[in-house]
Structure 1
């Protein structure tokens, strides 16, 4: 995470999509929907890749403090789920039953670390 890294990737990818779709002029009523859709698509892509701005990371950390373990594990935010792997509210039995084979690499890595610490053999099909 880092704001500059995020902004550079965001700008490069959104510019590319906007050029491909011929929707670079946000002042043109005909192009504004494509322009905004490209921005939303890039934001989602970057999130899925694990690239987030520092401000979002910080707000996620503060949000974490007020969530139950169920909300953390069920969140669509990869950072929350990853941090949840180290949460003491996640017990050994529940840890053993988690299926994270389709989850983000960061979540899987934190899961492996926690399993190693607990002496549990991780069940990941990666």
Structure 2
């Protein structure tokens, strides 16, 4: 289970570091081609989502790696599940139900990480 946790956590953390970092650092115009929803959400909220994604990625890796407060990794994974629930809601409200496949995959991966974390950490 430990190896499975680290593989899934590393992949999920890499994705969220990239996506969250883009939301934090780039302008609305630069985000729009890849994330059309940024037009309907205030930019401070987009930045907050990015910060939460980066913190979630860090929370998946650092606590179990250091052995200090490993339960934080489970909380980070739960937070990432909630972010994806919000993402699905935004896409559905915009009539973009065909675009939720990535949100569903990320939600399922974070949920699997919760399970792996509860069995290993």
> TM-score when scaled to structure 1?
0.30
| Structure ranking higher in helix proportion | 2
With CA pairs under 8 Å and 6+ residues apart, which has the higher RCO, 1 or 2? 2
> TM-score when scaled to structure 2?
0.31
